Amino acid sequence: MASVLDQAEIDALLAGAAAPAPTEIAPNSLVFSRQRRDADTLEIKAYDFKRPERVSKDQMRALQTLHEGFARNFGAALSGFLRTIVEVKVGTCEQMTYSEFTSGLPNPTSFNLISADGLEGQLCLEVSPLIIYPIIDRLLGGNTQDLFIPQRPLTLIETRLIGNVTKRALTGLSEAWAKIKPLKFDITASESNPQLVQIVPPNEVVVVIGFEVKMNTRAGTMNLCIPYNVIEPVMEQLSSQSWFSATKNQRSKETEQIVTQTIHRAPLLVTGILAETTITVRDLLQLSVGDIIVTEKLASKPVVVAVEGEKKFFAQLGQHRGSRALKVARIIGPDDRT
């Protein structure tokens, strides 16, 4: 049974309704923290607890630039491996939760778990079947023109074949990350259903770099998922200014030695030009065995030595251990007429 109000309660309700509206108290302008600061001079940013952004914009730009270099090198490596032009470029670079990343992936797909020597945790490399099966068809001698994309997990043979592609991707990742920290990437496991793999909690922030892979008339996507807690130890080194300045001003001595050794082993064609002259096409067609071609150069003049078609030295024609030889006399100067 509903309670009945007495006269005192009725009077209190009427007095409350007739009372003026309470004045709104202005909020305190101070922000409470370890140090008291004025709110007018303090930059306050909105924070969404459902989608926290733990990576700054400078660090995101640095990650995107770093993986753009990886995409160029990986595309060149795939082009040489498949003997056809393969274009790889960065399509997206954003941060999201791990559950959002896995929910947007197809099933089945090629979902690879990657571990790095210098980092704790695992990364994910997902390759779309839209580009996997054309690559496999290319490796087996097909032309990928009328290729049907099956909706099934990869077989063991297909997994072994596509492993040659992922190995080159990991090599390119190691080269790209070497500017930040020397890392060695290895595939620890592969799965066809991304919903069955939980490397981090669903609400954990991850950085997802999306790549577009094009081969002839076929195209597909490749996604690299990097959890924030994995790369958190190296995040301070990913600020764009320090990273760009380091890559511009520092030159690795090991890289210089490798380039120098490679150049030293490069073969060059060396040619000795005994004499040069001009001849008409008619005289050329009438040449036969025993004909003599007259030049304006004396036999006593030095021979010109050319390296890859460029005239570099003067030499004397002679003999060494029973073979014709050229003894270098001096370098051709800018005032010498050859």
Helix orientation angle between 240-249 and 57-82, rounded to the nearest 10 degrees: 50
Packed helices 129-139 and 57-82: angle between N→C axes, nearest 10 degrees: 30
Q: How far apart are CA 278 and CA 57, in angstroms?
A: 66
Q: Hey, which CATH number is domain 268-284+298-338, 2.30.330.10, 3.90.400.10, 3.40.50.300, 3.90.1150.10?
A: 2.30.330.10
Same fold, 57-250 and 268-284+298-338: no
Domain boundaries, the chain: 57-250, 268-284+298-338
Are β-strands 218-227 and 205-215 bridged in parallel, bridged antiparallel, or unpaired?
antiparallel
Confidence of residue 3 (pLDDT cuts 50, 70, 90): low
pLDDT at res. 210: 93
User: CA-CA distance, 74 to 112, in Å (whole number)?
Assistant: 17
CATH class of 57-250: alpha beta
Q: How far apart are CA 204 and CA 267, in angstroms?
A: 54
Does residue 80 register a pLDDT over 80?
yes
> Is the full-model pTM beyond 0.75?
no
Contacts of 144 (CB under 8 A, 6+ apart): 134, 137, 138, 215, 216, 217, 218
Q: What is the DSSP string of 56-117?
A: -HHHHHHHHHHHHHHHHHHHHHHHHHHTS-EEEEEEEEEEEEHHHHHHTS-SS-EEEEEEET
pLDDT at 20: 64
Rounded CA separation 219/212 (Å): 7
The 10s digit of each residue's pLDDT in 180-199 is 888 889 999 888 888 888 88
What residues form DSSP beta bridges with 319? 324
pLDDT digits (tens, 9 = 90+) for 249-300: 455 777 888 888 888 888 889 888 888 888 899 988 988 998 988 888 887 7
Nearest to 242 by CA among 115, 119, 65, 88: 65
Strand-pair partners of 38? 30
